[in-house]
């Protein structure tokens, strides 16, 4: 039998009625001839509640016990989903991560998947089981302890199972009906994409689009797992949602497929740094060690033998960056005149694989922003992405103007 992986997020299994609705979708795919692996998240709000219990009990908690507690929400949902399917006369059973077993490394709270043996579940399919309901977000370490994959890890669980079992497809059911050209809350004319390439989705996810966890898209691209994002709350439609697939499966590549906006950005500039070999390593080494996620980087010559270094990072990491750079200066690793931070910026990004073959996208973007009176503070580009930092107050205006200029409402 062909295998289909179906993942249901927290809002899709938030109540018993929603679990029943999801189970009916699973039953329909079983009737279509699939053996189904269902990956479930905890019921909406449950993980946050469990995290709160841990923090209240032990602020300096043991990460192994943290994983034991917060992974329990998925176990509950998996059991309830299996019971619901059994009531529908669909042969199903639940599987916790250790029962599969989903093997991970020992990085509690942010574990990486190392192996998913298929023997146990395939044996049960061979005995007549039609649905394996797997608790997402969790696995087991080499030491035999429960691990978790980080928030949003059920997406990664689902894609990993699809890759391990060579599934026909991995359907991600959520509270949105697909991937849009931009955030519909910012631009009412945002349109749903029928297809989007892995690389484009990876860029959008890393730039702030919250439809899929970044690691899940990376995994899907690496193993060629076709993903479909669709809503749990709409009526059945075999062509619903957005398909995330290889570039060659898309007939025509537009220069821009989507626009991402991230308000939680900061711009930091080190003034009057020595212009010498190794200075960049001296600056960004301590930032990496401090866990600061640096994104856009620009170096300017300010005066003879001196340079200015500008970079962006998440706004909630500014104090960490200041402390790391100050400590490095105190240790004599490098010196600088002043550290200037701007915590009122937003990152606006155009993404599209069509940029590889079509010129003029950057020039058009800059002209549109100029016409709206929006000053660009920093620019960074890649083969399929152009990102700029602008004043945060212009976020909506920038997105709307660019969406109109590139006619994304006609996607």
Annotated binding site: 7-10, 47, 74, 174-175, 180, 185, 210-211
Q: Distance between CA atoms of 339 and 271, rounded to whole angstroms?
A: 6
How many residues in the chain?
411
- Tokens read off for 358: 């079509």
Neighbours of 347 (CB within 10 A): 24
Closest C-alpha among 115, 158, 118, 121 to residue 137: 158
- Tokens read off for 200: 């484009």
Cα angle: 212, vertex 218, 224; to 5 degrees: 105
Q: How far apart are the first and last CA of the chain?
A: 36
Q: Which residue numbers belong to the known binding site for substrate?
A: 47, 74
Specify whether the CB–CB gap between 134 and 39 falls below 8 A.
yes
- Tokens read off for 411: 């996607």
98 alpha carbon, distance to own chain's centre: 24
Q: Distance between CA atoms of 371 and 387, rounded to whole angstroms?
A: 18
Q: How many helices (H) and strands (E) does the chain have?
A: 12, 18
Cα angle: 163, vertex 167, 170; to 5 degrees: 85
- Tokens read off for 249: 């499966």
Cα angle: 136, vertex 2, 163; to 5 degrees: 45
Specify whether the CB–CB gap between 4 and 36 falls below 8 A.
yes
Q: Phi and psi at residue 109, in whole multiples of 5°? A: 90, -20
Q: Distance between CA atoms of 405 and 386, rounded to whole angstroms?
A: 15
Q: Are strands 169-174 and 227-231 parallel, antiparallel or unpaired?
A: parallel
Q: Which residue numbers belong to the known binding site for ATP?
A: 7-10, 174-175, 180, 185, 210-211
8-46 as b/e, with b when 16 or more CB fall inside 10 Å? bbbbbbbeeebbbbbbebbbebbeeebbbbbbbbbbbeb
């Amino acid at each position: 039998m062909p295998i289909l992986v179906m993942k249901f997020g927290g809002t899709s299994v938030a109540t018993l009625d929603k679990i029943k609705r999801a189970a009916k979708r699973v039953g329909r795919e079983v009737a279509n001839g699939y053996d189904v692996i269902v990956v479930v998240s905890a019921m909406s709000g449950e993980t946050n509640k469990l995290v709160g219990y841990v923090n209240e009990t032990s602020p300096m908690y043991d990460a192994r016990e943290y994983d034991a507690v917060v992974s329990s929400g998925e176990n509950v949902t998996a059991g309830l989903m299996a019971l619901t399917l059994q009531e529908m006369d669909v042969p199903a059973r639940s599987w916790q991560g250790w029962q599969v077993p989903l093997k991970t490394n020992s990085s509690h709270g942010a574990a990486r998947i190392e192996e998913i043996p298929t023997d146990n579940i395939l044996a049960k399919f061979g005995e007549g089981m039609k649905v394996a309901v797997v608790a997402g977000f969790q696995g087991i370490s080499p030491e035999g302890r429960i691990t978790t994959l980080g928030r949003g890890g059920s997406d990664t669980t689902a894609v990993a199972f699809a890759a391990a079992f060579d599934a026909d497809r991995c359907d991600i059911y959520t509270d949105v009906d697909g991937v849009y050209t931009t955030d519909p809350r910012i631009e009412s004319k945002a349109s749903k994409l029928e297809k989007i390439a892995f690389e484009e989705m990876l860029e959008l996810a890393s730039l702030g689009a919250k439809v899929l966890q970044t690691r899940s898209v990376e995994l899907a691209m690496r193993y060629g797992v076709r993903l479909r994002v669709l809503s749990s709350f709409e009526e059945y439609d075999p062509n619903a949602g957005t398909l995330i697939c290889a570039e060659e499966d898309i007939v025509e590549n537009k220069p821009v497929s989507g626009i991402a906006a991230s308000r939680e950005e900061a711009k930091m500039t080190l003034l009057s740094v020595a212009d010498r070999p190794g200075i960049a390593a001296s600056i960004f080494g301590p930032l990496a060690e401090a866990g600061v996620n640096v994104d856009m980087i620009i170096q300017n010559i300010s005066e003879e033998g001196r340079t200015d270094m500008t970079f962006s990072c998440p706004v909630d990491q500014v104090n960490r960056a200041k402390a790391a750079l100050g400590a490095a200066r105190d240790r004599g690793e490098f010196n600088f005149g002043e550290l200037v931070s701007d915590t009122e910026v937003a990152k606006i990004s155009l993404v599209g694989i069509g940029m590889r073959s079509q010129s003029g996208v950057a020039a058009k973007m800059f002209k549109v922003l100029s016409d709206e009176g929006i000053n660009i503070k920093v620019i960074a580009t890649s083969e399929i992405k152009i990102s700029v930092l602008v004043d945060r107050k212009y976020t909506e205006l920038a997105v709307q103007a660019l969406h109109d200029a590139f006619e994304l409402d006609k996607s």
